[in-house]
Amino acid sequence: MSQSLHVVLGAGPAGTTLAAHLLGLGHRVRTVSRGGGAAVAGAEAVAADLTDHAQAAAVMTGAAVVYHCANVAYERQVDVMPRMQAAVLDGAAAAGARLVVLDTLYPYGPTGGAVMTERTPWRAVSRKGRMRADLDAAYLAAHRDGRLPVALGRSADFFGPRVFNSSLGGTVFPAALAGGPVLALGDIDQPHSYSYLPDVAAGLARLGAEPDAAGQVWHLPTAPARSTREVHQLIERATGRAFTVDVLDAPRPWGPFDETFMREYAELFYQYEEPQVMDSTAFETRFGVRPTPLPEAVAATVDWFRAALAARG
């Protein structure tokens, strides 16, 4: 059983799910967040400001692999994420670690409905999309220049256990269990890729385990796209309840998505106005894995939310 140290930056749903997966593989795991709270039983939890080079370097000391799953609020991303990248690259390089980055589809920009593969051109039109593209170019340049091995794992909108703040998160599953209404964005009859978070975590761990995966972008395992309406129907079957849907045809505040969030998200709303289809064939073929079928993933997510809500009383 391996006892190499794997450091997970970020203690949100992705970071905690990944940390639990890595522990299951037998690794020593350190989770890093600004607050440093105990995120996952069995992992060492430490606090750090990941924009601070000294703090970032300290928490990555001894790491074999570093996974960058840290994020910040939309309104802070353009300012904070580049500074965080600089500190993370320096710290991971100083540790002699491989770096795996959880990435988004933002660099592609609007595609007119074309299926997104790793060869799709980067044509971001949003501030946050251009920022992500610049970050990704810098990550790949760091690998190409020999600073450290870097692999980028891109995910579509994810859902699953622990995921509350997403388009299929806290505004859908809890409400669906209560009979609605749930939130939907844009045109719910367009095909839309949704990544199941346990598949995302397992995919990131696999990239961390495969040295020759570095130096490129990978699309993490994601089930074939269905329309959001079809996904809602899967949720109805899993909950045994029909529900109503509030569809936002334009970005405006709704429930937990306040005015600040929606103002910042407006430039990315195109993702729900055209087909948003991500293809993960390259990863599946290279590593011999398949994403969890959507009906199975939805059912497991419903079970998790049902238990989580019951525990809250």
- The pLDDT tens digits of the residues spanning 164-181 come to 888 888 789 999 998 879
Find the length of the chain. 313
- The SS3 call for residue 44 is strand
Mean pLDDT score of the chain, rounded to an integer? 95
Task: Specify the pTM.
Answer: 0.96
Looking at residue 1, what is its pLDDT?
40
Q: Tell me how far the alpha carbon of residue 72 is from its chain's centroid.
A: 12
Query: How much is the average pLDDT of 199-213?
Result: 98
DSSP state of 267: G
- SS3 state at 66: strand
**Residue 185 in tokens:** 């964005």
Residue 101 has pLDDT above 50, yes or no: yes
The stretch 83-94 carries a mean pLDDT of: 98
What is the H or E stretch that residue 103 is in? strand 98-103
At residue 2, does pLDDT exceed 60?
no
Task: Give the up-direction half-sphere exposure of residue 96: CA atoms within 13 A in the CB hemisphere.
Answer: 3
pLDDT, mean of residues 75-80: 95
- Reading the block at residue 70, the tokens are 């840290």
User: How confident is residue 50, by pLDDT bands cut at 50, 70 and 90?
Assistant: very high
Q: What is the pLDDT of residue 85?
A: 98
Which residue matches tokens 């992705």?
A: 14
What is the Cα gyration radius of the chain? 19
Task: Write the pLDDT tens digit of every residue in 250-272.
Answer: 999 887 788 998 999 999 999 99
- φ/ψ of 101, rounded to 5, equals -115, 125
How far is 196 from 186, CA to CA, in rounded Å? Answer: 21
212 C-beta neighbours (distance < 10 Å), count = 9
| Amino acid type, 140 | L
**Number of alpha carbons in the 13 Å side-chain half-sphere of residue 19:** 27
Minimal CA–CA distance to 154: which of 50, 279, 295, 285?
279
Spell out the alpha helix ranges (H) of the chain: 13-24, 53-60, 74-95, 127-144, 173-178, 197-209, 228-239, 259-265, 281-287, 294-312
Query: What tokens were used for 298?
Result: 């939805």
Q: How many helices (H) and strands (E) does the chain have?
A: 10, 13
**Mean pLDDT value of segment 125-148:** 98
The answer, yes or no, to whether residue 235 has pLDDT greater than 50, is yes
List 192's β-bridge partners, or say none. 226, 276
Q: Which of the four pLDDT bands, split at 50, 70 and 90, describes residue 274?
A: very high
pLDDT of residue 132: 98
- Of 287, 176, 292, whose CA–CA distance to 237 is shortest? 176
Mean per-residue pLDDT, 116-145: 98
* Residue 162 CB contacts under 8 Å (≥ 6 apart), including other chains: 13, 16, 17, 197, 304
Q: Give me the pLDDT at residue 256, please.
A: 77
Residue 223 near residue 292, CB atoms below 8 Å = yes
> CA–CA separation, 291 vs 268, rounded Å?
26
